[in-house]
């Protein structure tokens, strides 16, 4: 495996994979995905995975996974183990999976332009973002700004913005969206929960 360097928030990648399970193979698919999740989360740069069943009792599933960078995802998908897992999952699904890739902050929520995922409204996204931004900006203002306030104003603003974006992208928003996902995505039925505090994908 190739060790990837630490990526900036703008480089983080959210991968959304849509699959339809073969009739009668739902239990086998869910069991295989549990094993695959363990394999995926052990890989450097993989930051978590969620499995959504789009309709209760249906056969359409969406996997949402996050990586710290495109390079980390490429390293993961180029391994022989990954290829073997894709062959195994292909035997349990119909046709080829549809894969969408989101970069940076757009991966916080299911976007309106990504088909197949539940779509939280703009008000819900705004509320969830506020819940994440308010405590982070308050803490940064109290704990960081006093130590850098002698710097030029533009530099202070740049440092504060960078810290807030890093914390939101890598720590806070994955936690907020996980905590609120039943409210944000009321039509989705979660069948496998994320494996890490930071949330990555196949």
Q: Which CATH class is domain 9-113+187-192?
A: alpha beta
Helix-, strand-, coil-residue percentages of the chain, each rounded to 5: 50, 20, 30
DSSP-derived secondary structure letter, 5: P
Break the chain into its structural domains and give their ranges: 9-113+187-192
Read off the pLDDT of residues 19-38 as tens digits, 9 standing for 90 and up.
889 999 989 998 999 899 88
CA angle 68, 65, 86 (to 5 degrees): 110
Q: Would you say 3 and 63 are in contact if contact means Cβ atoms under 8 Å apart?
A: no
Read off the pLDDT of residues 36-93 as tens digits, 9 standing for 90 and up.
988 998 898 888 887 777 566 678 888 878 888 888 989 999 999 999 999 999 999 9
Q: Taking Cα atoms as reference points, which of 73, 78, 38, 34 lies closest to residue 201?
A: 73
Radius of gyration from C-alpha coordinates of the chain: 18
């Amino acid at each position: 495996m190739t060790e990837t360097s630490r990526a900036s928030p703008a480089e983080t990648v959210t991968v959304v994979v849509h699959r339809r399970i073969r009739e009668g193979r739902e239990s086998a698919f869910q069991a295989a995905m549990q094993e695959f999740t363990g394999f995926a989360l052990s890989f450097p740069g993989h930051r978590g995975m969620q499995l959504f069943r789009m309709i209760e009792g249906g056969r359409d599933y969406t996997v949402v996974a996050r990586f710290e960078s495109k390079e980390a995802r490429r390293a993961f998908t180029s391994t022989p183990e990954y290829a073997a897992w894709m062959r195994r999952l292909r035997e349990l699904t119909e046709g080829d999976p549809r894969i969408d890739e989101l970069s940076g902050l757009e991966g916080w929520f299911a976007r309106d332009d990504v088909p197949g995922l539940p779509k939280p409204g703009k008000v819900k996204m705004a509320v969830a973002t506020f819940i994440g931004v308010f405590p982070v900006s308050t803490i940064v203002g109290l704990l960081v700004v006093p130590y850098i306030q002698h710097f030029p104003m533009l530099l202070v603003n740049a440092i504060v913005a960078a810290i807030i974006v890093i914390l939101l992208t890598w720590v806070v928003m994955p936690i907020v969206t996980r905590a609120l996902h039943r409210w944000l995505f009321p039509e989705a039925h979660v069948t496998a929960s994320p494996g890490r505090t930071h949330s990555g994908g196949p």
